[in-house]
Amino acid sequence: EIVLTQSPDFQSVTPMEKVTITCRASQSIGSTLHWYQQKPDQSPKLLVKYASQSISGVPSRFSGSGSGTDFTLTINSLEAEDAATYYCHQSSSLPYTFGQGTKLEIK
Amino acid sequence: QLQLVESGGGVVQPGGSLRLSCAASGFTFSNHGMHWVRQAPGKGLEWVAFIWYNGANKYYKKSVEGRFSISRDNSKNTLYLQMNSLRPEDTAVYYCAKDPCSSNTCYSDFWGQGTLVTVSS
């Protein structure tokens, strides 16, 4: 099973700040890594597909990068509405797995 | 617009059974693979099962294989998850999610609102 390890687990940030969340895979997964945002009491929402491909309707301040085993989600100029938990997810091989999540708190 | 509406959750005793349903609308259901993903209270996301667009192939997380069965009825635009021999550790919100691909998994591009399953005596 491919293990995805996110860091940090929790981050408290101020609006307008730049945020970087990393996701490391236990083995190479190419670019089959996707990012989701989950706000409290809501279902997850797709932010980035295949490591760096943007999603229609997602604000441009969200971007992804990486390949192989190391991936990054970057949020430029954080807004209050970005308070949420962020998950990475691999669809390279079964069983598909998620990272443990990174909770962003807005100060 | 796209809609996925889960139902069938509830409280069940250990060893019991439940069948979850996911009613799809706003897209051509029969063209897409579908996932079930769960989230235990206060915990992260856990992939459970995937089914091809035509039901020909099904894949499961190891801990549910042999107890859970994913299926679909394309004439009713509905996805199912039959859960047998339920354990307390199966307690979670269960989400159905649409895959933009038909057979091999791509990713989940849209999720339902979830249905809560509680396994407790």
Q: Note whether B108 contacts A89, CB cutoff 8 Å.
A: yes
What would the pLDDT profile of A4-19 be if each residue is shown by its tens digit?
999 999 999 999 999 9
pLDDT of residue A44: 98
- Chain B CB contacts of A95 under 8 Å are 47, 59-62
What would the pLDDT profile of B94-113 be if each residue is shown by its tens digit?
999 999 999 888 999 999 99
Residue A43 has its nearest CB partner, among B59, B109, B113, at B113
Q: Following CA atoms A96, A69, B107, A36 in sequence, which dihedral angle do they give, to the nearest 10 degrees?
A: 100
pLDDT of residue A59: 97
SS3 A51: coil
- Put simply, whether B110 touches A (Cβ < 8 Å) is yes
- Chain B CB contacts of A87 under 8 Å are 44-45
Residue A97 has its nearest CB partner, among B47, B95, B114, at B47
What percent of chain B has pLDDT above 90?
A: 97
The tokens describing A100, both together, are 């443990």
What band does B17 get if pLDDT is binned at 50, 70 and 90?
Answer: very high
Strands (E), A1-107: 4-7, 10-13, 19-25, 33-38, 45-49, 53-54, 62-67, 70-75, 84-90, 97-98, 102-106
Average of per-residue pLDDT across B2-26: 98
Q: What is the DSSP letter of A26?
A: S
The whole-angstrom separation of Cα A24 and Cα B71 is 33
- Put simply, whether B114 touches A (Cβ < 8 Å) is yes
User: Are the C-beta atoms of residues B94 and B82 closer than 8 Å to each other?
Assistant: no
Residues in A lying within 8 Å of B, measured between beta carbons: 34, 36, 38, 43-46, 49-50, 55, 87, 89, 91, 94-101
What band does A39 get if pLDDT is binned at 50, 70 and 90?
Answer: very high
Q: Are strands B45-51 and A33-38 parallel, antiparallel or unpaired?
A: unpaired
The whole-angstrom separation of Cα A7 and Cα A102 is 7
pLDDT of residue B15: 98
User: Are the C-beta atoms of residues A87 and A97 closer than 8 Å to each other?
Assistant: no
Average of per-residue pLDDT across B49-72: 97
What would the pLDDT profile of A62-101 be if each residue is shown by its tens digit?
999 999 999 999 999 999 999 999 999 999 999 999 999 9
Mean pLDDT of chain B: 97
pLDDT of residue B103: 86
Residues contacting B41, CB < 8 A, separation 6+ = B91, B92, B93
The whole-angstrom separation of Cα A98 and Cα A95 is 10
